[in-house]
Structure 1
Amino acid sequence: MTVVTFPGQGSQKPGFLSAWLEDTESRTTLEQLSETSGIDLVLHGTESDADTIRDTAVAQPLIVAAGILTWDALRTHLGEQLTDVAVAGHSVGEIAAAYAAGIFDAATAMRFVTKRAQLMAEDAAKVTTSMAAIIGGNEGDIIEHLSNLNLSPANFNGAGQIVAAGEPAQLEELRKNPPAGTRVLPLKVAGAFHTHWMADAQEAFAALEEEFPAENPTRQIYTNRDGSVVTDGAEYRRYLVEQVNRPVQWDLCMTAFLEAGHSGLIEAAPAGTLVGLAKRGMKGVPAVAVNLPSDIDAASELILGA
């Protein structure tokens, strides 16, 4: 079985949806998602610059919309042959995965991510924070180093990567004096997501949870909480809300994929990050990045051959 994955914030690139909108059906879908979210996703996916789409309130709905377009294209291409796949998302990508699993319909997914983005952006505006990826090194030494700098681990991505989050001065100190055997790469995000800096957003979001109808999943879906498969839609929705200020455990997701015997991995647009992690953390498992509509053929071949 193949697992279809959906990337998180920071994966967006200027103009990355331009080729998708050459298809009339995809353009109509994106226009509908724009209307639901109140955000011009057509503009932001084709013309807006990197700084504009770095804004949390824009980036998160844009990435989920891209996941919806990718899944719809796979479904159109494969029909019932898409039934035997699992899904998972990284951070905000979990919302696109919820759409693919049938937990949310497209409108609910967009309303959910738009509110999530708004609340997280509000928290991010209270104190200037950001994130940086730490590549290599010993996990225990890294966690101790972050604690000494008053930084928090936000993502355990596996394949030798941990993402740190916190205030700019501390992140700069991390860059100048990284843990032994590591290198530090700043990320294109505007907040310390999945840490205590998002506590107010999580609390506010929890109060609104029931406004988003959730059905039980129609296919296997993994959670960033601990890499487990979730079979109850309301439970998955609760995990989405709680994940706002909890670390993303993508390392445990990849371990679960391997233990379940998944024989291929596909990453929806804007793709690259999760395929890269899979190549290092799931050695020998074929992986396909779907960035353009033309990539759907390769993704379909992987699914049919699994």
Structure 2
Amino acid sequence: MGKIAFLFSGQGSQYPGMAKDLYENVKEVHDFFGVAEAIRPGTIIQMLKGTDEELKKTENTQPCLFLADIAGALALESAGIYPDAVAGFSLGEVVGLAVSGALTKSEAFKLVCKRAGFMQKASEEVKGSMIAVIGMDKEELISQCRKSKVYPVNFNCPGQIVVSGEEGNMDKFKEKLKKSEVRFIELSVGGSFHTPYMKEAAESLKEELKASGNYKLTATDKPLYANKTASPYPKETDEMIDILSDQIQSSVRWEDTLINMAESGVDTFIECGPGRTLSGFVKRTVKGAKIYNISDLSSLEKITSELGTNEELQAKEQTYA
């Protein structure tokens, strides 16, 4: 067996009640949710009982989804399964900072709350939306985006690219796609993320990371793949800050990230968080990969029964060595 990667989902995968099962039954999850609640009171009730519309608002989505994502990692680690590499989609990358050791869990949660506020403000200044375009030629899509003044931002997997932009331009672009009979899916997000419209949010996050004494970014214990570069994070703090803050206004190179992880020896991908979107991207990108998702106790039990703990895996490898 090769390496294991934990993947953390991004905005659009949230739903009321996510991670409830893990929160109620896994001590490590319950304990950290209590820490997060002290930092941002009301997050747990919002996460478990908030409406779809409430959870779609960026300043709410990101803290709640951070907890749902990290709950999966905490549950896996409590069962003896640890990652060899980590990647997170957009806000999921902040979860990755905690799981890879670049930040403590509480630091990462404080950071995602700040990030959410900066992005919420930017979203209110320029109303925008995002869609996933299915099956369109990559170069043709990029060309059409340029003509329509919208942006191809998330390169998810072969045959799927997310487009983002200002609401009026996006409406016109969607009409073009409909006329050309190109399929697309509306994403449940509250802004035009990963575009130049997020420049102010990116700058604010960079200032927060540089000026605040609340965050002590350190070199990761295990590779954390960055959305912006599709490569592991650098070791220098200033470079880490640049990549993390610029991510807000840069494209997510997810397909390249998965390919690079596979080339490094990863053959097992575990999506932590609600939904199975990232699992679908892996299936379309990495042939023969073992793919799992953890969002509740039953999925945790399936993973542990099929994979065993890291210690058991190592014992098997030594037996066959």
Settle same-fold status: TM greater than 0.5.
Answer: yes
Cα–Cα, structure 1 residues 233 and 275, in superposed 2: closer, same or farther, change >3 Å?
A: farther
Map residues 169-248 of structure 1 onto 2, 5 A cutoff. 169-178=168-177, 182-210=182-210, 211=212, 212-232=215-235, 234=237, 235-248=239-252
Letter of the 1:222 counterpart: Y
Q: Among all aligned residue pairs of Structure 1 and Structure 2, give the percentage whose two residues are the same amino acid.
A: 26
Determine if the alignment matches structure 1 residue 99 to structure 2 residue 98. yes
Distance (Å, rounded) in 2 between the aligned partners of 1:74 and 1:215: 23
Gaps of 5+ in 2: 315-321
Determine if the alignment matches structure 1 residue 145 to structure 2 residue 144. yes
| Structure 1 SS opposite 2:295 | coil
State the shift of 1:261 in Å.
Answer: 2.6
Corresponding residue pairs, total: 302
State the shift of 1:227 in Å.
Answer: 1.1
State the shift of 1:146 in Å.
Answer: 0.9
Is the 2:23–2:71 Cα contact (8 Å) retained in structure 1? Answer: no
- Post-superposition Cα deviations, 1:205-226, rounded to whole Å, max 9, x if no partner, equal 2112122211211112111112
Is the 1:31–1:41 Cα contact (8 Å) retained in structure 2? Answer: no
Determine if the alignment matches structure 1 residue 254 to structure 2 residue 270. no
State the shift of 1:184 in Å.
Answer: 1.1
Cα–Cα, structure 1 residues 182 and 236, in superposed 2: closer, same or farther, change >3 Å?
A: farther
Distance (Å, rounded) in 2 between the aligned partners of 1:267 and 1:39: 27
2:160 corresponds in structure 1 to 161
Distance (Å, rounded) in 1 between the aligned partners of 2:298 and 2:110: 29
1:271 corresponds in structure 2 to 275
State the shift of 1:115 in Å.
Answer: 0.6
2:22 corresponds in structure 1 to 20
Is the 1:174–1:184 Cα contact (8 Å) retained in structure 2? Answer: no
Distance (Å, rounded) in 1 between the aligned partners of 2:223 and 2:205: 25
Letter of the 2:227 counterpart: N
Letter of the 2:256 counterpart: L
Letter of the 2:9 counterpart: P
State the shift of 1:132 in Å.
Answer: 0.6
Gaps of 5+ in 1: none
State the shift of 1:177 in Å.
Answer: 2.0
Map residues 3-82 of structure 1 onto 2, 5 A cutoff. 3-23=5-25, 25=27, 26-36=29-39, 38-78=40-80, 82=82
Distance (Å, rounded) in 2 between the aligned partners of 1:233 and 1:2: 25
Distance (Å, rounded) in 1 between the aligned partners of 2:153 and 2:234: 25
State the shift of 1:260 in Å.
Answer: 1.5
| Structure 1 SS opposite 2:87 | strand
Distance (Å, rounded) in 2 between the aligned partners of 1:41 and 1:31: 10
Distance (Å, rounded) in 2 between the aligned partners of 1:233 and 1:295: 37
| Structure 1 SS opposite 2:266 | coil
Is the 1:103–1:233 Cα contact (8 Å) retained in structure 2? Answer: no
Is the 1:90–1:248 Cα contact (8 Å) retained in structure 2? Answer: yes
Q: 156-165 or 112-121, which moves further after superposition? A: 156-165
1:88 corresponds in structure 2 to 87
- Post-superposition Cα deviations, 1:99-149, rounded to whole Å, max 9, x if no partner, equal 110111111001111111000100000121111111111101001111111
Cα–Cα, structure 1 residues 233 and 181, in superposed 2: closer, same or farther, change >3 Å?
A: farther
Structure 1 residue aligned with 2:292, among 275, 288, 292?
288
State the shift of 1:72 in Å.
Answer: 1.3
Letter of the 1:76 counterpart: S
- Bigger-Rg structure (1/2): 2
| Structure 2 SS opposite 1:132 | strand
Cα root mean square deviation, aligned: 1.9
2:317 corresponds in structure 1 to none
